[in-house]
Each structure stands twice: as C-alpha cells, then as structure tokens.
Amino acid sequence: MIRQFENRIDGADTYATYTKNEVYIEVLLGDSEETSNKIDQSLLTGALQEIKSGAIRDDVYVNQELVRHDFSISTTEGAAVLQELKQAFPNYVNYDSSPYNLVGKYEGYRQPYQNSSISWYEFEVKPSEALQLSFNASYLDNNVRNWYGLKFDLVTREVLLKVLINEYAGAAPELPIGPKFYAITHSQNSANTTQWVDAYVHATPKRIREFCTAKGLDYPLPPTTHTECDVVWCWGFVFNKDTLEYGAVKAYARYNQPT
C-alpha cells in the first residue's frame, strides 16, 4: 500500500511530508512508490534509534495472520499476561527487572513451538553464563546481544531459552539485504534443542515483499498494516540450520502504547 503524504515546495525542490502521531518526516519527492519507500525507511531508522523507548505493543504476523501480541510489562495488557506467567512459573526469574521487558501469549503457530505458551523477553542485560549453561548453551560474550527470551510452554511445562546473537557462524539461506541479527533457541534437554534458527532483518516492507516474491515465500503482512502501525521495525526469517529450508516469515508491527 502506498502511503499518503503532502507536498511542500522549497525553492526548486519539492518535498513529501508525512505526519503520524508525534512523528514528522520530510523526504525529497519522487514517484509515489519511491516516496512511500523513503518514508518507510525514515520511520524504520527512527524506530531503531528509539527501540527501547516507552511502552509498546508488537503485533506479530505470519502469512497475513496475527499470531501473537507482545506487550511491555508496564502496559495493562502486559501486566495481565505477566500475572498469568507468574502464577504458572512462580519465581523462575525476576520478571519485573525492567519496564522494557516484553511478554506475549500465543499458540503453537510455527516450529519449534507446539502448544499454548508465554514468551518473556528481558532487556538491557545479557543471559548469564549460568543461565546459558543450564540450557546446554555457551556463547562468546561479544557476540551476544543485551537481551534474551524465555519461552514457557503452558502444557508441557518446558522452558526454552532464546539467545540473541550478532553473527551466526553456520550456513544460512539467502536473506534480504539489511542489518541483521539472529536467535538460537535451546532446550534444557539437549536432545530437544531446536533445529530452527531465527534471522531478523531491518528493512522496508517493499524490500521484504520483493524478496518474498522472488523466493516464493508468504509475505507476512496484510495489505494495510504497515501504514496503520507506527512502524514495522523488524522481520523474522526462520530457517532449518541443517537443510537450510525456510520456515515462517514474521513481521513485527509496532504500536506505541499509553502506560
């Protein structure tokens, strides 16, 4: 979908102006598709600079279906999910360590998730060596990002650790152009460690749509979502580390929330 914008003339130059909530963007005017893509790129750049700012809701889409909401724990919705997590897995970790922490409840919409589960992400801290070792994992500190996730299966009671890393040393399928990071998911039972790797890409909807078309993958977003949300800040490409086959393609549509 092409974004709606206004024109502003400044001497010999014409700019497209775009305003949404408290965001104002100006870019040099091109054709409609080019200008819309420039606005998307500006929104993405701004979102990445303020990635932990304020309370947020991320809507996660796969194949144009909404599969999960992630909420900051400082929001009303996030607090409700967090309370359910605390009741199911009391005192597992310090769930309230940062107001930027996210929680989300979801069904088993893709591998390796099978059942109704709750995800919890802790921000501004790396997974400790002790935590990693308890999941049969060990990563160089300089390759680990300063946030990580725990996945709590409400049926089997199994917990998975998701470690976010800057560089992935193994083979990977072709991925879209753009800044990337990766996630490896570990089970406390090493025999059940997942074969699926998440590759996260920061890119505009246009670039992802073109990549999905070229690779025969399902573009994750419904037609109007990327103009309705504040920004699509990230895209996830799941792949099998052994066969390199693609799995689910995910889109993370972000909405700023009142606290």
Question: Splitting the chain (259 residues) into consecutive groups of 10 residues, what average pLDDT does each group show?
Answer: 66 68 67 71 67 80 97 95 98 94 94 92 95 94 96 95 96 93 90 82 90 97 88 94 96 85
- How much is the pLDDT for 188? 87
- How much is the pLDDT for 41? 74
- How much is the pLDDT for 48? 61
User: In the chain, what are the domain boundaries?
Assistant: 6-49, 60-68+107-254
Distance CA(5)–CA(10), nearest Å, equals 16
The burial of 80, by beta-carbon neighbours within 10 Å (0-12 exposed, 13-18 middle, 19 or more buried), is given as: middle
- How much is the pLDDT for 50? 62
- How much is the pLDDT for 240? 95
- List the structure tokens of 18: 């775009």
- How much is the pLDDT for 176? 93
- List the structure tokens of 122: 């802790």
- How much is the pLDDT for 4? 67
- How much is the pLDDT for 25? 61
Distance CA(98)–CA(124), nearest Å, equals 8
- How much is the pLDDT for 120? 98
Q: What is the pTM of this model?
A: 0.84
- How much is the pLDDT for 209? 92
